[in-house]
Amino acid sequence: MKQLLTTEQLDEGVTRLAAEIREFYAQKPLTMVAVLNGSIVLLADLIRRVDLPLKIGLVQASSYRGAATEPGDLQIEMAMVPVLRGRHVLLVDDIFDTGNTLSALLAEFRALKPASVRSLVLLRKHGRRTVAIEPDHVGFEIPNEFVVGYGLDYCDAYRNLPFVAVLEPSEDGSIPLPS
């Protein structure tokens, strides 16, 4: 496993993103909605640094299942999303890969009539975008590699790593799971 972003780099990036949020929303009430499960660590770190009138919500959206390293069909579950009508909404996601998840979620959220809706991602992967949109706030640019840690997983493992790492296959081509 090759470390791509250290704990210190992540801390600096999240602090920078929080400052962007505070500046942009300038005391407007904000609802942050995090995409489960990968962005839960990012959400926890962000809300401790954002001193605004704040509500939070969660949305389940997944296009990766099991051992997949390429996205499949997107499934969205909105049961934990609070009322967004008339609120300023910031959608928080872990990674912008093809952009399909973010694009679909933004469309779903706009239909709920918020005052505004913007997006924030921890990581933007180079060379994979297939949609016209771009996230409004980006923590880090990364190469086109499969990454884990800081909430991102492989088969629901590695989420607890305090850094972001490239998951490298073993000699037989399989991707190892922690024991």
From the list 45, 93, 94, 97, the catalytic residue is 97
Q: Give the DSSP letter of residue 61.
A: E
Q: How far is CA 14 from the centre of its chain?
A: 12
- Compute CA distances 71 → 30, 80, 106, 132, 162, whole Å: 30, 23, 18, 18, 24
Q: What is d(CA 30, CA 87) in angstroms, rounded to the nearest whole number?
A: 7
Is residue 97 part of the annotated active site? The answer reads yes
Which residues, listed in sequence order, are joined to residue 137 by a DSSP beta bridge? 120
> Exposed, middle or buried, 22 (CB in 10 Å: 0-12/13-18/19+)?
middle
The widest CA-to-CA distance across the chain, in whole angstroms, is 53
CB 35, CB 105: distance < 8 Å: yes
Which residues lie below 8 Å from residue 43, measured CB to CB, with a gap of 6+? Answer: 32, 34, 56, 92
Which residues are designated catalytic?
A: 97
